[in-house]
Structure 1
Amino acid sequence: MNRFDAADKIRGEARYIGDMFFEEFFYAKTLRSTMARAKILSIEYPELPEGYYIVDKNDIPNKNRVKIVTYDMPFFAEDTVNYIGEPIALVVGKEKNIIEELLAKVKVNYEILDPIYTIEEASCKLPIYGKDNLYADYHYKKGDIQQAYKEAYKVFTKEYETGYQEHIYLEPQGVAASYKDGKVTIYGSMQCPYYVKDAVVEALGFEGNRVQIIQTTTGGAFGGKEEYPSLTGGHVAFATIKCNKPVVLIFDRDEDIECTTKRHPSKIKVTMLVDKYNKIIGIDNDIRLDGGAYCGLTNIVLQRAMFTATGVYNIPNVSVRGRAIATNTVPGGGFRGFGAPQGFFALEMHMEYIAKELGLTSLEFKKINLAKTGDLTSTGGVYRGYVPTKELIDRIEEMSQYSKKYKEYKSSDTLKGIGMSLFFHGGGFTGSGERDHIKAVVKLRKYKDDSVEILISNVEMGQGTQTTLRKIVAMELKVPINKIILVNPDTDRVPNSGPTVASRTIMIVGKLLQKAAIKLKECWISGEEQQITENYKFPDGFYWDDSKFEGDAYNEYSWGANVVEVLVNPLTFEVKVLGVYAVFDIGVPIDEKIIRGQIDGGMLQGLGHGSIEKLEINNGRLIQRTNTDYVIPTALDFPKIESATIRNPYENGPFGAKSAGELTFIGAPVAYALAIENALGIDICKIPVTPEYLMEVMNNE
């Protein structure tokens, strides 16, 4: 065994972007803004040694805008910079140390402009863009909220706040590119190969067949590699064309933390209208998300947050305003839950607050207002499938003894507390997104040896896609799973089945593959090559008006209940978690072990967001910008999670499966906060709930 074989044995078979080798390749590193908002007056570059290059906006053949949802983010800064860390140029060459030396000698001359750092400042300073500091200002309604105000017995209003969160995926952002015979090939750690392709094609002005995207084995993403690789993919494409060498751009961890997208901070004011029978007759929400310096996916994240307004409850009158705010801070982006964690935190904390004011337990108040099958959603759609909230509550009560402990801890001096959250997540793209924008296509290719290859653009990023989708096809064809092939997507080989986001991969793409497998089974000829193509067809009977946010925002929902039990130290206000319990309805699990991994990972990540993952900005720059400063939980920080699933098959999912990946995150942060609130008898209005925050609240009390 040579040393390379030994290294492969140690690493396992997976080869990440950092493991790949390109002949005569160059490294790239990014020159970034050190100012939150400023005009670039000039840039003074040092004399470059032979074989070293500067790549900037002048090297973009067609369009210096990243194709995401909007086109506001440049690949490289033009006349101004709008956040600390914004890319200005690349330095490219053979030796990393020389690149670092050259970067250190670059001088950017700025004229500093007045920056906007917070949601509050955005309303009282000159706008960054256009006539205001808003990327979006949406509103939707259901019923008659004004009449509900007139009929309300009591009105309850409170504002809630959530902070930034960093993804901390195992593998940082990384891409590489080569240029040969007029064609660019980009390799990278990514979620959405066709997003990258579309962005690079447009920036270069190339025909589609001149850009190829290959997903390399991806060490985690959580939404952080949804839209961001479109930016870096463009960077290496411009560089490889200019240098005529393969170019590798891999972030170090500190750079990744400081400069890449984050979960959107939120401020959500909830006004709830209750009648004399403790029924909620109306809700009036004002939601504000901090989008950072560029819009990116912020508008879509905002919509998700808005559509959680009524949660798992039946509320007939609804008014929701949502605004996405522009600030001179690191941009917000995709992150597991995609706006739902922010919305459910505000809603579930408010339910607890109202219950206390009414002299009820929160569970008593929730049970009075639970939605059921046939009720209308917040946007006036219909819950068509079985709504299992009562079953979820009964099951988690049995597991956690929630009501018994809630009562005991209220009369105890031990500072123990327990909290329960109820929540859902809509599977797939919102409204008509799957029908009108994604239009997924999948293929199955059978070879002469009767093996079958799955051809899709959806990626494996640690969530089990390659195993689960192979199982779906194998089960339908009734062949061994080792006869089913699924490798990382290459846009030259696979159709566009849509991005690996929105908890859509198993429910939507898996169902398409099942349908394709049924067709292949019906025409199967052993020993011959065959190919089946299946196109997405939007289910009948659903209605959505995107201009009004009216109708069925989602075709189906997955549901969950979480309970967290804590003990608070009366001196330090450190919190020890005594128990974590979860019950989920994800339809029918395709692979129980993978779902267990999703539950453990999602809930741990959610508990981190609710507790210790503090990420703050000072004068536009992140304070916690290293792995040392930004702390994430480990398996030792929380007890073993006791979890279960209930079976609630979905007819439009493969073998009854529904979405799971994002659902497992959503309820944990708020259950954690509710448990602490229960222990201390105080109102908690923001996460993360740190000891410092608790001391502040207790002192104010």
Structure 2
Amino acid sequence: MKDITISIPRVDAWEKASGQAKYVSDYVYPGMLYAKTFRSPIASGKILARRYPRLPEGYAIIDYRDIPGKNVVKVIMEDMPIFAEMNVTYRGEPILLVVGPDKEKILEIMASIQIDYQETPAIFEWTKSIIHKQYSKGDGWKPSIEAARVIEYTYKTPLQEQAYLEPQGFVGTYDAGKISVIGSIQCPYYVKNALLFALRLPSDKIQVIQATVGGAFGGKEEFPSLMACQLAVALLKVKKPIKLVYEREEDILVTTKRHPATIKMQAAIDDNDHISSLKVHIGIDAGATTGLSGVVLMRAMIAATGAYTIDHLDVSGDVYWTNQVPNGAFRGFGAPQMMFAIEMFMEHIAQDLKQDPFQFRLRYLAKMGDRTSTNGSFRDPILLIEMIEQAMKISDYHTKAARFPTLKYHGIGWSVFLHGCGFTGSGEALTIKARIRLEKDSQDQVTIRVAAVDMGQGIRTTLRKLVSQILEIPLSQVDFDLPDTDLVPDSGPTVASRTMMIVGGLVAKAAEKMKANWLSGKAIAYEEQYVQPPEIHWDEDKMQGDAYPAYSWGVN
């Protein structure tokens, strides 16, 4: 391929259109059993007693007592149990699995299980902060010095369901002490690391394979680790293939969603009707486990000024613990909540000042060389003005904005946004440490070895195009299959718009080396590991510096 920008049919288009693609429910093994989760009917309480029925032959109950390692799903904080032991903290919390060959019989067994609870008052108000963060820029919040007035608004965003194509699910096998799981997942090594922690098995005894994924949107980032741990514990006990796939209703009720947020924004306005400083506080509902909430909060706070430059800021945030179903990753990771708030706030400030909102917002647009909200730097060109002009032209915005207020059920609006690409701060270098491998066999067939998952965004095509272009070989000469942890190094999770920028960048470097040393008929391989650019500096505790290595920009 000579030009990566040329559009081509996706390499998986035919297998998906023809029904040949194998989603997790399509996997079937001889003698396969099914698993169903027994869940808490209360949001808060203690388990006083358990009474399990006598089980027919071929059926099993799996609970916390079957876990060889620690009863914890390894994420960031160790506060999500694989199965509830003595306490339950949200309605729908998993207590046990029932495993067997017949689904109807499994439901009969579940109906005869008796759990005695002592219900305790549940917390649903946002009063218990478990994570607090704060940072400032310039002089911080200074309403008493220059402000002629202070404008204040509060914005709220709700839960949001990812609505991926197929529900959460895994199929697993046990063979000679080895656990293999195939799942609808975004992050194969998140799952593997969680299994290593829970099962206490050597690394070569745990294999994680991605099934075809019909969309994830963050919903299959950390949550699958919980399911995989439950399934793996069952596999160790019964030593037969098991399938654990949620029904859609169950998936919606008990899986992670976008964090609800409440965002209070204050602007100090000087005598010239200019924003002199902003004060922002964001609260998010973690639910009953911390999960990824601390990172979600951080990315929301970093986005406090959106695509605008404000010189003086005071930004704070809290993660609140409640007895709700835990919340987690969703595209944008906290930033969309804040983008909604800042865009609405800029509009409302302009209206309160009786200024044209369009012109008012243009005055604050970020430019190359500006300081970011966390005192980093926008190093690359920012073409927002040109993008806005094009969007206005295509939409005929100004004509419609003048005419629509006189009509019923008509309206038009616009927004700008930025997206920080890659992991926050030093996460890529210090936490993820992505590694990739590019191999060429003696037949000159090239294989990409990465843990990045194609979940509908098309990287099985784009990474092949990248390598094909650099090596100047046909696309058919480049292979990239669904990741298998037995075969690929840990290139990090498929999140944060990092796949083409970070993983793709490493693949490109390996391809350049392969091209320089290409010998037809000779097998060679190159590995690359991510190294943080020297100009990127980030203080995690103070939330100061370059939060991201690069940004993308958009206009709606």
**TM norm. shorter chain > 0.5:** yes
Query: Cα deviation per residue 1:355-413 (whole Å; 9 max; x = unaligned)?
Result: 00111121111111112111111101001111221111111111112223222334x24
Residues 192 and 226, structure 1, Cα contact 8 Å, conserved in 2: yes
* Shift in Å, 1:416: 2.0
Residues 142 and 277, structure 2, Cα contact 8 Å, conserved in 1: no
Q: Residue 648 of structure 1 aligns with which residue? A: none
Quote the Cα distance in structure 1 between the aligned partners of 2:230 and 2:383. 48
Q: Residue 64 of structure 1 aligns with which residue? A: 71
Quote the Cα distance in structure 2 between the aligned partners of 1:278 and 1:377. 22
Residues 177 and 246, structure 1, Cα contact 8 Å, conserved in 2: yes
Residues 256 and 329, structure 2, Cα contact 8 Å, conserved in 1: yes
Quote the Cα distance in structure 1 between the aligned partners of 2:313 and 2:90. 36
One-letter amino acid matched to 2:201:
F
Q: Residue 12 of structure 2 aligns with which residue? A: none
1:245 aligns with one of 215, 240, 244:
240
Q: Residue 498 of structure 1 aligns with which residue? A: 492
Query: Cα deviation per residue 1:567-612 (whole Å; 9 max; x = unaligned)?
Result: xxxxxxxxxxxxxxxxxxxxxxxxxxxxxxxxxxxxxxxxxxxxxx
Query: Cα 1:320–1:273, aligned 2, differ >3 Å: closer, same or farther?
Result: same
Q: Residue 216 of structure 2 aligns with which residue? A: 221
Quote the Cα distance in structure 2 between the aligned partners of 1:38 and 1:382. 49
Q: Residue 472 of structure 1 aligns with which residue? A: 466
Q: Secondary structure at the match of 1:369?
A: coil
Query: Cα deviation per residue 1:3-59 (whole Å; 9 max; x = unaligned)?
Result: xxxxx9985221111111212121110000110111111111111101111100000
Q: Residue 570 of structure 1 aligns with which residue? A: none
What TM-score comes out, normalization by structure 2 length? 0.96
Q: Residue 227 of structure 2 aligns with which residue? A: 232
Residues 280 and 369, structure 1, Cα contact 8 Å, conserved in 2: no
Residues 141 and 277, structure 2, Cα contact 8 Å, conserved in 1: no
Q: Residue 391 of structure 2 aligns with which residue? A: 396
Is it true that 1:118 corresponds to 2:112 in the alignment?
no
Q: Residue 426 of structure 1 aligns with which residue? A: 420
| Structure with the larger RCO, 1 or 2 (CA within 8 Å, 6+ apart) | 2
Q: Residue 89 of structure 2 aligns with which residue? A: 82
Query: Cα deviation per residue 1:641-671 (whole Å; 9 max; x = unaligned)?
Result: xxxxxxxxxxxxxxxxxxxxxxxxxxxxxxx
Quote the Cα distance in structure 2 between the aligned partners of 1:258 and 1:475. 45
Q: Secondary structure at the match of 1:145?
A: coil
One-letter amino acid matched to 1:271:
Q
Query: Cα deviation per residue 1:218-245 (whole Å; 9 max; x = unaligned)?
Result: 1211111000111011011100110011
Quote the Cα distance in structure 2 between the aligned partners of 1:239 and 1:530. 41
Mapping of residues 151-166 of structure 1, within 5 Å? 151-166=146-161
1:347 aligns with one of 338, 342, 346:
342
Query: Cα 1:490–1:366, aligned 2, differ >3 Å: closer, same or farther?
Result: same
Residues 118 and 290, structure 1, Cα contact 8 Å, conserved in 2: no
Quote the Cα distance in structure 1 between the aligned partners of 2:292 and 2:29. 33
Mapping of residues 156-235 of structure 1, within 5 Å? 156-235=151-230
2:537 aligns with one of 537, 543, 556:
543
* Shift in Å, 1:186: 1.2
Is it true that 1:370 corresponds to 2:377 in the alignment?
no
What TM-score comes out, normalization by structure 1 length? 0.76
Unaligned runs of 5+ residues in structure 2 are 1-14
Quote the Cα distance in structure 1 between the aligned partners of 2:64 and 2:89. 16
Quote the Cα distance in structure 1 between the aligned partners of 2:374 and 2:340. 19
2:103 aligns with one of 76, 79, 96:
96
* Shift in Å, 1:98: 0.6
Residues 189 and 217, structure 1, Cα contact 8 Å, conserved in 2: yes
Is it true that 1:531 corresponds to 2:538 in the alignment?
no
Unaligned runs of 5+ residues in structure 1 are 1-7, 124-132, 563-701
Query: Cα 1:272–1:238, aligned 2, differ >3 Å: closer, same or farther?
Result: same
Query: Cα deviation per residue 1:600-646 (whole Å; 9 max; x = unaligned)?
Result: xxxxxxxxxxxxxxxxxxxxxxxxxxxxxxxxxxxxxxxxxxxxxxx
1:518 aligns with one of 509, 512, 517:
512
Quote the Cα distance in structure 2 between the aligned partners of 1:277 and 1:305. 30
* Shift in Å, 1:193: 0.4
2:281 aligns with one of 275, 286, 306:
286
Mapping of residues 602-617 of structure 1, within 5 Å? none
2:291 aligns with one of 287, 293, 296:
296
Q: Residue 22 of structure 1 aligns with which residue? A: 29
One-letter amino acid matched to 1:90:
L
Query: Cα 1:183–1:413, aligned 2, differ >3 Å: closer, same or farther?
Result: closer
Bigger mean CA offset, 94-103 vs 203-212? 203-212
Residues 278 and 365, structure 1, Cα contact 8 Å, conserved in 2: no
Is it true that 1:559 corresponds to 2:553 in the alignment?
yes
Query: Cα 1:329–1:143, aligned 2, differ >3 Å: closer, same or farther?
Result: same
Quote the Cα distance in structure 2 between the aligned partners of 1:277 and 1:477. 58
Quote the Cα distance in structure 1 between the aligned partners of 2:271 and 2:400. 28
Q: Secondary structure at the match of 2:68?
A: coil
Quote the Cα distance in structure 1 between the aligned partners of 2:140 and 2:424. 24
Bigger mean CA offset, 76-85 vs 415-424? 415-424
Residues 261 and 283, structure 2, Cα contact 8 Å, conserved in 1: yes
* Shift in Å, 1:135: 2.5
Quote the Cα distance in structure 1 between the aligned partners of 2:514 and 2:381. 32
One-letter amino acid matched to 1:54:
I
Quote the Cα distance in structure 2 between the aligned partners of 1:475 and 1:507. 16
* Shift in Å, 1:147: 3.5
Quote the Cα distance in structure 1 between the aligned partners of 2:445 and 2:269. 61
Quote the Cα distance in structure 2 between the aligned partners of 1:511 and 1:431. 18
2:52 aligns with one of 45, 53, 69:
45
Kindly, what percent of the aligned residue pairs are identical? Answer: 47
Query: Cα 1:26–1:11, aligned 2, differ >3 Å: closer, same or farther?
Result: farther
Quote the Cα distance in structure 1 between the aligned partners of 2:400 and 2:23. 47
Q: Secondary structure at the match of 1:342?
A: helix
One-letter amino acid matched to 2:102:
E
* Shift in Å, 1:335: 0.6
Quote the Cα distance in structure 2 between the aligned partners of 1:293 and 1:530. 49
Bigger mean CA offset, 105-114 vs 176-185? 176-185
Residues 150 and 268, structure 2, Cα contact 8 Å, conserved in 1: yes
Q: Residue 325 of structure 2 aligns with which residue? A: 330
Q: Residue 456 of structure 2 aligns with which residue? A: 462
One-letter amino acid matched to 2:548:
Y
Is it true that 1:272 corresponds to 2:272 in the alignment?
no
Residues 135 and 299, structure 1, Cα contact 8 Å, conserved in 2: no
Quote the Cα distance in structure 2 between the aligned partners of 1:238 and 1:201. 11
One-letter amino acid matched to 1:541:
E
Query: Cα 1:146–1:220, aligned 2, differ >3 Å: closer, same or farther?
Result: closer
* Shift in Å, 1:415: 4.3
Residues 510 and 527, structure 2, Cα contact 8 Å, conserved in 1: yes
One-letter amino acid matched to 2:253:
E
One-letter amino acid matched to 1:318:
L
Bigger mean CA offset, 428-437 vs 440-449? 440-449
